[in-house]
Amino acid sequence: MIEALFQGLLQVLAWKPLLFMLIGIVLGFWVGLLPGLGGATTLALMLPFIYGMQPIEAFAFLLGMHSVVATTGDITSILFGVPGEATTAAIILDGHAMAKKGEAGRALGAALSSSLVGAMIGAFALAAAVPIVRPLVLSFGSPELFMLAIVGLAFIAALSAEGGRGMLRGFTAGGLGLLLSMVGQDPQAGVARYTFNTLYLWQGLDLVPVLVGLFAIPELVDLAVRGTSIAGELPVGKLTKGALEGVKDTFRHFWLTIRCSLIGTFIGIMPGLGGSVAQWLAYGHAAQSARTAEERKGFGNGDVRGVIGPGAACNSKEGGSLVPTVAFGVPGSTAMAILLGGFFLLGLVPGPDMLTTHLTVTFSMVWTIVLANVITVTACFLFLDRLARLTSVPAHRLIPVILVLVFIGSYTTNNQYADILVTLIFGAVGWLMVSAGWPRAPFVLGLVLGKIAENYLYISVARYEVAWLTRPVVVVLFALAVVVIVYPILRARRLARREANA
């Protein structure tokens, strides 16, 4: 096994795979920066190019591209408040708030270094977990996966706003997201739900136009109202120093970085939950790590932990999601489903073969993730000054350029004008939510989890009837969901009592 590990490294470092990996990294770098142009879409577009490549070259190219998309997507999210990727939306909440406070360099430093740590942990998980994880994945059926979705939603709804009123709004926003996820053809009976006889809505609401509208449009309006640069009148500061501070932050909160990386890896391993879930769960966990009411208020206002958590989870999930793809042929996400297509194009069959005959190829994937992230993060640090200075460009020059990117990012989802209309509608919803003090994170998670949760619930009921509720892991996860909801209320009461006594 150790021999295969080194063989994998040596083969990735051979000139051809290395060249293909570098080409992939350059592509992934720009795909990540451009809002809406998703990593999964680009993987699909690049798939035909792997004909004729050797497996290690092909995976160096595809994974090299895919594993850096989330890293550079963080940059767009932090600097402009526009999600570079659907999987990098959570980092906006605190990352962009830091950019507005003139701490763009620090936020980018924290995001990049936590991404790197996350990617390493994800890659390590891929290397180490394959023999261990098999019984775990096989023990999780539809009931457990449904409950995992519910825990995720409870987590973010309960933690995304302060107090009972905030929790009410969190759950309402989450419910709205769940409801909107039902737009489109019902997967069980094929009935068109809430489509208003429109063909466009039959496939449901795509995540990218919704996210771009929800996050980017309110930011653009806010920028136009303030009339200053993103960082306002605040000096952007010495960026390299700020970035170093961000790197130090990652190591200052090292255990948080590790925990969020593990959350990302775990979500990645669980088939069907996807990267969008990982970042929000990690954000929720980071917010939960605040010990005092004062600390908790910092989240959403530029707390570096709100950057570190999603940054780490977003990249660690890549290694994690490769585990079920490689070991069982069960893709952990859309991108992995496309990558699975790559396996078949190359004549490889995921499963035991990948752990025996083609073990070197499996380890070459681990090394590709590690090397691609090291190269990307180094490149990002080299260009950090230029990237972060974009926050001091006057708003009136940035707004039209960002708006063009927003509309193109949205349009490229289905190449239909209706995508832009969806962006505009959710832009208005996002603006209302920000104006009203409603959290947007539960809404997004509801939208992401809705279809998955419905499918798992349907299969659970069809397969086990009511008995699925008594399965041990389901009971444990249900208890966890209750704790997640009740604990913040109890803690708020205890804090209020303590403050009243003081």
Partner 1 sequence: MPNRPAFLLGIGIMAVSAYAAIAALAWPLKTALFPLVISIPLFVLATIEVVSLWVSGARFSTTKDFQRPPAEVPGTVAALRSLAAAGWILGFFAAILLFGFLVAVPVFLLAYLRFQARESWLFSIVFTAVVWAVFWGLFDYALHLPFASGMLF
Return d(Cα 74, Cα 112) in angstroms, integer: 8
Task: With contacts defined by CB under 8 A, name the span among 106-114, 126-134, 372-380, 402-410 that binds partner 1.
Answer: 402-410
Cβ–Cβ under 8 Å, residues 444 and 214: yes
Tell me the number of residues near partner 1 by CB under 8 A.
Answer: 81
Return d(Cα 267, Cα 233) in angstroms, integer: 40
Task: With contacts defined by CB under 8 A, name the span among 15-23, 122-130, 135-143, 424-432 that binds partner 1.
Answer: 424-432
The dihedral sign for the CA sequence 242, 244, 247, 248: negative
352: tokens are 């035991």
- The answer to the question of residue 217 lying near partner 1 (CB under 8 A) is yes
C-beta atoms surrounding 319 within 10 Å:
31
User: Measured from the CB atom, is 218 or 332 closer to partner 1?
Assistant: 218
Select the residue interacting with partner 1 from 10, 19, 226, 292 (CB under 8 A): 226
User: Measured from the CB atom, is 459 or 473 closer to partner 1?
Assistant: 459
User: Measured from the CB atom, is 111 or 346 closer to partner 1?
Assistant: 111
- Report the DSSP beta bridge partners of residue 192: 185
Closest to 97 (Cα-Cα) out of 77, 113, 70: 77
Q: Quote the distance between the C-alpha of residue 463 and its chain's center.
A: 31
Return d(Cα 112, Cα 242) in angstroms, integer: 13
User: Measured from the CB atom, is 296 or 317 closer to partner 1?
Assistant: 296
Minimal distance, residue 39 CB to partner 1, in Å:
15
User: Measured from the CB atom, is 23 or 176 closer to partner 1?
Assistant: 176
313: tokens are 């989870």
Return d(Cα 480, Cα 155) in angstroms, integer: 9
3-class SS string, 256-302: HHHHHHHHHHHHHHCCCCCHHHHHHHHHHHHHHCCCCHHHHHHCCCC
Minimal distance, residue 415 CB to partner 1, in Å:
5
Select the residue interacting with partner 1 from 14, 168, 475, 486 (CB under 8 A): 168
The one-letter amino acid code at 151 reads V
Q: Say whether 37 sits in a helix, a strand or coil.
A: coil
Minimal distance, residue 12 CB to partner 1, in Å:
27
Select the residue interacting with partner 1 from 4, 23, 47, 176 (CB under 8 A): 176
User: Measured from the CB atom, is 25 or 330 closer to partner 1?
Assistant: 25
- The answer to the question of residue 494 lying near partner 1 (CB under 8 A) is no
Select the residue interacting with partner 1 from 92, 282, 371, 452 (CB under 8 A): 92
- The answer to the question of residue 493 lying near partner 1 (CB under 8 A) is no
Pattern of binders to partner 1 over 235-274, x per CB under 8 A? ----------------------------------------
- The answer to the question of residue 500 lying near partner 1 (CB under 8 A) is no
The DSSP call for residue 338 is: H
- The answer to the question of residue 179 lying near partner 1 (CB under 8 A) is yes
Please give the sequence-ordered ranges of beta strands (E in DSSP) within 172-250, or none if there are none: 184-185, 192-193
- The answer to the question of residue 220 lying near partner 1 (CB under 8 A) is yes
Q: Which residues between 427 and 466 bind partner 1 (CB under 8 A)?
A: 427, 429, 431-441, 453-454, 457-458
Cβ–Cβ under 8 Å, residues 12 and 56: yes
User: Measured from the CB atom, is 94 or 318 closer to partner 1?
Assistant: 94
- The answer to the question of residue 106 lying near partner 1 (CB under 8 A) is no
Q: Which residues between 296 and 315 bind partner 1 (CB under 8 A)?
A: 296-297, 299-301, 306
Closest to 259 (Cα-Cα) out of 297, 312, 208: 312
